[in-house]
Amino acid sequence: MKDLLERIEQNRFVGREFLLWLWFESQLFETNLAPSGKSSCALWLETRLTLTFEREESVLKSSAPGSAPEAREALRQGKLPREARIRMTTEEREYAWTFKADTLGLAALALPAELTKKDDDAHEVLYERMRLVEALEATLEALWSDFLALRLEEAWEATVVPELDKFAHEEDVDEAAYTKAKQRALAKRPKKT
């Protein structure tokens, strides 16, 4: 059990890097993300962002915390996002949740408003909630899969990390180089049968 806990603790950075990547992509592509195999979505950080390095923590609260100069300063100090409030619109449905990077957990999930019909059967409302959560989960899984395909490629260190550094320093990111590296990484991913 102790080995398992140590492995979990040693790999917490992956969820934080995933959240950083979502933040980076949402800023780079002006909230327009295109997860492989899924409909495009608009995703952005809103109201709250927590960045952490060891015991130091920065909590930013604003309507767009990812755009705040303090957020980039925290990145320059080596902090990674640990928790963020995220809003996403996909297929005309809007979701909001708090993403906890250390556990890849979602909290305080707000589902699209289409569930507020008072005349609906309780079972139908439950099934509709389940379908909406499944749709969100499928989009997040596609984003996670894209992230892992890129993270496990040589392009991560060669191209992505330098672009993330530019992002942290509020310098111009080479969108074309990043997009090309991402497309190559995604093309190498084995096809599902």
Kindly state whether residue 6 falls inside one of the protein's structural domains: yes
Kindly state whether residue 75 falls inside one of the protein's structural domains: yes
Model pLDDT, residue 168: 95
User: Count of domains in the chain?
Assistant: 1
Kindly state whether residue 32 falls inside one of the protein's structural domains: yes
Kindly state whether residue 22 falls inside one of the protein's structural domains: yes
Kindly state whether residue 34 falls inside one of the protein's structural domains: yes
Closest by Cα among 138, 148, 111, 139 to 126: 111
Per-residue pLDDT of the chain (193 residues; tens, 9 = 90+): 667 667 666 667 899 999 999 999 999 999 999 999 899 999 999 999 999 998 899 999 999 999 999 999 999 999 999 999 999 999 889 999 999 999 999 999 999 876 555 556 777 888 888 999 999 999 999 999 999 999 999 999 999 999 999 999 999 999 999 999 999 999 987 766 5
Model pLDDT, residue 189: 76
Kindly state whether residue 193 falls inside one of the protein's structural domains: no
Kindly state whether residue 163 falls inside one of the protein's structural domains: yes
The amino acid sitting at 20 is L
Closest by Cα among 147, 163, 188 to 15: 147
Kindly state whether residue 40 falls inside one of the protein's structural domains: yes
Gyration radius (Cα) of the chain, Å: 18
DSSP for 141-188, written as a single string: HHHHHHHHHHHTSTHIIIIIHHHHHHHHTTPPP-HHHHHHHHHHHHHH
Closest by Cα among 71, 73, 145, 75 to 104: 145
Range of the domain at 92: 2-188
